[in-house]
Protein backbone atom coordinates (compact mmCIF):
# COMPACT_ATOMS: atom_id res chain seq x y z
CA UNK A 1 0.00 0.00 0.00
CA UNK A 2 2.62 2.52 1.15
CA UNK A 3 6.09 2.03 -0.15
CA UNK A 4 8.77 4.51 0.82
CA UNK A 5 12.16 4.07 -0.77
CA UNK A 6 15.34 5.90 0.22
CA UNK A 7 13.37 9.04 1.12
CA UNK A 8 15.39 12.20 1.68
CA UNK A 9 13.19 15.13 2.56
CA UNK A 10 13.06 18.32 4.56
CA UNK A 11 12.17 21.96 4.37
CA UNK A 12 13.96 25.15 3.42
CA UNK A 13 16.86 23.15 2.04
CA UNK A 14 17.49 21.36 5.31
CA UNK A 15 17.40 17.58 4.95
CA UNK A 16 15.64 16.03 7.92
CA UNK A 17 14.80 12.57 6.58
CA UNK A 18 18.01 10.91 5.44
CA UNK A 19 17.01 7.80 3.56
CA UNK A 20 13.82 6.25 4.93
CA UNK A 21 12.68 2.85 3.76
CA UNK A 22 9.24 1.68 4.84
CA UNK A 23 6.78 -0.78 3.43
CA UNK A 24 3.23 -0.91 4.76
CA UNK A 25 0.76 -3.53 3.52
CA UNK A 26 -3.02 -3.62 3.92
CA UNK A 27 -4.12 -4.90 7.31
CA UNK A 28 -0.87 -3.99 9.01
CA UNK A 29 -0.22 -1.73 11.97
CA UNK A 30 3.20 -0.10 12.09
CA UNK A 31 4.59 1.88 14.97
CA UNK A 32 7.28 4.46 14.46
CA UNK A 33 9.09 5.41 17.61
CA UNK A 34 12.07 7.53 18.33
CA UNK A 35 13.46 10.31 20.47
CA UNK A 36 12.48 13.97 20.07
CA UNK A 37 13.83 15.50 16.90
CA UNK A 38 14.40 12.18 15.19
CA UNK A 39 12.11 13.14 12.28
CA UNK A 40 8.89 11.33 13.26
CA UNK A 41 6.56 14.25 12.68
CA UNK A 42 8.44 15.29 9.54
CA UNK A 43 7.86 11.83 8.11
CA UNK A 44 4.10 12.04 8.75
CA UNK A 45 3.96 15.58 7.36
CA UNK A 46 5.86 14.59 4.21
CA UNK A 47 3.61 11.57 3.59
CA UNK A 48 0.52 13.79 4.03
CA UNK A 49 1.91 16.32 1.57
CA UNK A 50 2.71 19.58 3.33
CA UNK A 51 3.65 22.18 0.71
CA UNK A 52 6.57 23.53 2.67
CA UNK A 53 8.35 20.18 2.70
CA UNK A 54 10.31 18.94 -0.29
CA UNK A 55 11.39 15.51 -1.34
CA UNK A 56 15.05 15.70 -2.38
CA UNK A 57 15.63 12.07 -3.21
CA UNK A 58 13.81 8.75 -3.20
CA UNK A 59 10.12 8.08 -3.65
CA UNK A 60 6.78 7.64 -1.90
CA UNK A 61 4.48 5.20 -3.64
CA UNK A 62 0.86 4.75 -2.59
CA UNK A 63 -0.94 1.84 -4.22
CA UNK A 64 1.89 1.78 -6.73
CA UNK A 65 1.57 5.46 -7.68
CA UNK A 66 4.20 8.08 -6.95
CA UNK A 67 2.38 10.66 -4.82
CA UNK A 68 5.30 12.96 -3.99
CA UNK A 69 4.04 15.68 -6.35
CA UNK A 70 0.40 15.53 -5.22
CA UNK A 71 -1.16 18.15 -2.96
CA UNK A 72 -2.34 17.21 0.51
CA UNK A 73 -6.00 17.15 -0.53
CA UNK A 74 -5.24 14.92 -3.54
CA UNK A 75 -3.48 12.49 -1.22
CA UNK A 76 -6.47 12.61 1.13
CA UNK A 77 -8.72 11.76 -1.81
CA UNK A 78 -6.58 8.67 -2.46
CA UNK A 79 -7.18 7.54 1.11
CA UNK A 80 -4.36 8.97 3.22
CA UNK A 81 -5.33 10.47 6.55
CA UNK A 82 -3.14 12.28 9.04
CA UNK A 83 -4.25 12.71 12.61
CA UNK A 84 -2.47 15.81 13.89
CA UNK A 85 -0.44 16.02 17.03
CA UNK A 86 -1.76 19.58 17.42
CA UNK A 87 -5.11 19.84 15.61
CA UNK A 88 -5.82 23.37 14.37
CA UNK A 89 -8.67 25.38 15.88
CA UNK A 90 -11.19 26.74 13.36
CA UNK A 91 -13.60 29.09 15.12
CA UNK A 92 -16.85 29.63 13.23
CA UNK A 93 -17.08 26.18 11.63
CA UNK A 94 -18.87 23.44 13.53
CA UNK A 95 -17.53 19.90 13.73
CA UNK A 96 -20.58 18.69 11.78
CA UNK A 97 -20.28 21.25 9.00
CA UNK A 98 -16.58 20.62 8.73
CA UNK A 99 -16.95 16.88 8.36
CA UNK A 100 -19.77 17.34 5.83
CA UNK A 101 -17.53 19.54 3.71
CA UNK A 102 -14.59 17.15 4.01
CA UNK A 103 -16.68 14.13 3.01
CA UNK A 104 -18.45 15.81 0.13
CA UNK A 105 -15.27 17.36 -1.25
CA UNK A 106 -13.64 13.93 -1.12
CA UNK A 107 -16.64 12.32 -2.81
CA UNK A 108 -16.63 15.03 -5.46
CA UNK A 109 -12.96 14.36 -6.20
CA UNK A 110 -13.76 10.66 -6.47
CA UNK A 111 -16.57 11.36 -8.92
CA UNK A 112 -19.32 10.47 -6.45
CA UNK A 113 -22.49 12.42 -5.68
CA UNK A 114 -22.83 14.21 -2.35
CA UNK A 115 -23.75 11.98 0.54
CA UNK A 116 -27.50 12.28 1.25
CA UNK A 117 -28.16 14.27 4.42
CA UNK A 118 -29.92 11.38 6.19
CA UNK A 119 -27.06 9.01 5.50
CA UNK A 120 -24.58 11.63 6.69
CA UNK A 121 -26.50 12.15 9.90
CA UNK A 122 -26.71 8.40 10.55
CA UNK A 123 -23.02 7.97 9.94
CA UNK A 124 -22.14 10.92 12.19
CA UNK A 125 -24.29 9.45 15.01
CA UNK A 126 -22.72 6.01 14.70
CA UNK A 127 -19.16 7.23 14.62
CA UNK A 128 -19.75 9.71 17.44
CA UNK A 129 -21.13 6.88 19.58
CA UNK A 130 -18.08 4.78 18.78
CA UNK A 131 -15.85 7.48 20.24
CA UNK A 132 -18.26 8.33 23.06
CA UNK A 133 -18.71 11.85 21.69
CA UNK A 134 -21.68 13.86 22.97
CA UNK A 135 -23.94 15.25 20.24
CA UNK A 136 -23.63 18.77 21.70
CA UNK A 137 -19.93 18.55 21.01
CA UNK A 138 -20.64 18.22 17.27
CA UNK A 139 -22.21 21.65 17.04
CA UNK A 140 -19.24 23.36 18.66
CA UNK A 141 -16.64 25.18 16.60
CA UNK A 142 -13.96 22.81 15.37
CA UNK A 143 -11.33 22.27 18.08
CA UNK A 144 -12.01 25.69 19.57
CA UNK A 145 -11.58 25.47 23.31
CA UNK A 146 -11.43 21.66 23.14
CA UNK A 147 -9.33 19.91 25.76
CA UNK A 148 -6.35 17.89 24.54
CA UNK A 149 -8.37 14.71 24.84
CA UNK A 150 -11.36 16.15 22.98
CA UNK A 151 -9.14 17.26 20.12
CA UNK A 152 -7.65 13.80 19.72
CA UNK A 153 -11.03 12.11 19.95
CA UNK A 154 -12.26 14.51 17.30
CA UNK A 155 -9.33 13.56 15.06
CA UNK A 156 -10.22 9.88 15.32
CA UNK A 157 -13.89 10.75 14.77
CA UNK A 158 -12.92 12.43 11.50
CA UNK A 159 -10.84 9.40 10.59
CA UNK A 160 -13.85 7.18 11.27
CA UNK A 161 -16.00 9.37 9.02
CA UNK A 162 -13.49 9.54 6.17
CA UNK A 163 -12.59 5.82 6.29
CA UNK A 164 -9.04 6.19 4.94
CA UNK A 165 -6.97 3.35 3.55
CA UNK A 166 -3.93 4.58 5.39
CA UNK A 167 -4.20 6.42 8.70
CA UNK A 168 -1.15 8.06 10.20
CA UNK A 169 -1.63 8.86 13.86
CA UNK A 170 0.91 11.44 14.92
CA UNK A 171 1.42 11.39 18.70
CA UNK A 172 -2.26 10.68 19.21
CA UNK A 173 -1.52 9.62 22.77
CA UNK A 174 0.04 12.91 23.85
CA UNK A 175 -2.20 14.92 26.13
CA UNK A 176 -4.57 12.00 26.77
CA UNK A 177 -5.48 10.70 30.19
CA UNK A 178 -5.89 6.98 30.56
CA UNK A 179 -9.66 6.95 29.92
CA UNK A 180 -9.39 9.07 26.81
CA UNK A 181 -6.52 6.90 25.61
CA UNK A 182 -8.68 3.81 25.97
CA UNK A 183 -11.58 5.41 24.08
CA UNK A 184 -9.34 6.61 21.26
CA UNK A 185 -7.54 3.28 20.99
CA UNK A 186 -10.84 1.37 21.00
CA UNK A 187 -12.05 3.60 18.19
CA UNK A 188 -8.93 2.99 16.15
CA UNK A 189 -9.11 -0.76 16.72
CA UNK A 190 -12.72 -0.91 15.55
CA UNK A 191 -11.73 0.87 12.35
CA UNK A 192 -8.90 -1.53 11.66
CA UNK A 193 -9.53 -4.00 8.88
CA UNK A 194 -7.82 -6.21 6.38
CA UNK A 195 -7.94 -3.54 3.69
CA UNK A 196 -6.57 -0.60 5.62
CA UNK A 197 -3.35 0.11 7.41
CA UNK A 198 -2.32 2.25 10.35
CA UNK A 199 0.96 3.97 11.09
CA UNK A 200 1.22 5.00 14.73
CA UNK A 201 3.83 7.60 15.53
CA UNK A 202 4.58 7.73 19.19
CA UNK A 203 7.17 8.59 21.72
CA UNK A 204 6.00 6.15 24.36
CA UNK A 205 5.08 2.54 24.46
CA UNK A 206 1.81 2.93 26.38
CA UNK A 207 -0.41 3.53 23.31
CA UNK A 208 0.93 0.29 21.86
CA UNK A 209 -0.62 -1.62 24.77
CA UNK A 210 -3.95 -0.68 23.21
CA UNK A 211 -3.13 -0.49 19.52
CA UNK A 212 -0.93 -3.50 19.05
CA UNK A 213 1.55 -3.08 16.19
CA UNK A 214 2.70 -5.77 13.79
CA UNK A 215 5.96 -3.91 13.26
CA UNK A 216 7.92 -1.38 15.27
CA UNK A 217 10.50 0.91 13.70
CA UNK A 218 12.92 3.15 15.51
CA UNK A 219 13.75 6.45 13.91
CA UNK A 220 16.96 8.25 14.76
CA UNK A 221 18.50 11.22 12.96
CA UNK A 222 16.19 10.81 9.99
CA UNK A 223 16.80 7.12 9.45
CA UNK A 224 15.11 3.91 10.55
CA UNK A 225 17.87 2.38 12.60
CA UNK A 226 16.05 -0.67 13.89
CA UNK A 227 12.91 -2.59 13.00
CA UNK A 228 11.23 -5.43 14.81
CA UNK A 229 7.99 -6.68 16.26
CA UNK A 230 6.04 -5.35 19.25
CA UNK A 231 8.67 -6.69 21.63
CA UNK A 232 11.02 -3.99 20.36
CA UNK A 233 8.73 -1.35 21.82
CA UNK A 234 8.90 -3.00 25.22
CA UNK A 235 12.65 -3.18 25.00
CA UNK A 236 12.77 0.54 24.19
CA UNK A 237 10.53 1.32 27.12
CA UNK A 238 12.88 -0.55 29.39
CA UNK A 239 16.23 0.60 28.04
CA UNK A 240 15.38 4.09 26.73
CA UNK A 241 16.53 5.58 23.46
CA UNK A 242 20.20 5.98 24.48
CA UNK A 243 20.68 2.35 23.71
CA UNK A 244 19.62 2.96 20.11
CA UNK A 245 21.61 6.16 19.81
CA UNK A 246 24.78 4.39 20.93
CA UNK A 247 24.21 1.55 18.53
CA UNK A 248 23.64 3.87 15.56
Partner 1 sequence: MELKETLLSSYLAFDAQDGPQRKLQDERTAAIEVFEQQGFPTKKEEDWKYTSLRDLTKTNFSVFPKEEVSLTLEEIKPFILQDVDTYKIVFVDGIYNAYLSETTHEGVDICLLSAALTKPKYAPVVKKYFNKIAPKEASLTALNTAFTKEGAYVYVPEGKVVEKPVQIIHFATDKNPQLLLQPRNLIVVGKNAEIQIVERHQSLSNGAAFTNVVTEIFAEQNAQIDYYKIQNDHVEASLIDSTYISQQKHSHAKVHTFSFGGKLTRNNLNFYHKDSEINSTMKGITLIEGTQFVDHHTLVHHAHPNSESHQDYKGIYAEKSTGVFNGKIVVEKEAQKTNAFQQNNNILMDDKASINTKPQLEIFADDVKCSHGCTIGQLDEDALFYLQTRGIPKKEARGLLTYAFANNVLQSVQIDSVKKRINKLIANKLGVNIGFDV
Contact segment (CB under 8 A) with partner 1 among 30-38, 106-114, 122-130, 232-240 equals: 106-114
**Comparison of 18 and 105: residue with beta carbon closer to partner 1:** 105
Rounded CA separation 164/175 (Å): 24
SS3 readout for 136-187: HHHCCEECCCCCHHHHHHHHHHHHHHHCCCEEEEECCCCCCCHHHHHHHHHH
Is 52 among the residues that bind partner 1 (CB under 8 A)?
yes
Q: Least distance in Å: CB of 85 to partner 1?
A: 11
| 97 sits near partner 1 (criterion: CB under 8 A) | yes
Q: What x-and-dash track marks residues 194-233 binding partner 1 by CB under 8 A?
A: ----------------------------------------
DSSP class of residue 34 equals -
Which region, judged by CB under 8 A, interacts with partner 1, from 15-23, 100-108, 203-211, 231-239?
A: 100-108
* Residue 85 binds partner 1 (CB under 8 A): no
Residue 43 vs residues 14, 19, 124, 221: alpha-carbon distances, Å: 14, 11, 30, 12
Instruction: In whole angstroms, give the CA distance from residue 32 to residue 224.
Output: 9
Name which of residues 22 to 51 contact partner 1 (CB under 8 A).
48-51
Integer Cα distance of 9 and 16 in angstroms: 6
Q: Is 113 in the site for partner 1 (CB under 8 A)?
A: no
Amino acid sequence: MLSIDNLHAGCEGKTILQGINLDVKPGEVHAIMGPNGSGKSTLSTVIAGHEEYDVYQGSILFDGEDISELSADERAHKGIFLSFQYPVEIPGVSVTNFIKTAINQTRKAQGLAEMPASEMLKSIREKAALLEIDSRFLSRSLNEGFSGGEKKRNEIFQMAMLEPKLAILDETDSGLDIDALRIVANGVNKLKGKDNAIVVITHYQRLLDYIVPDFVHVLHEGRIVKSGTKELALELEEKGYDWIKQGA
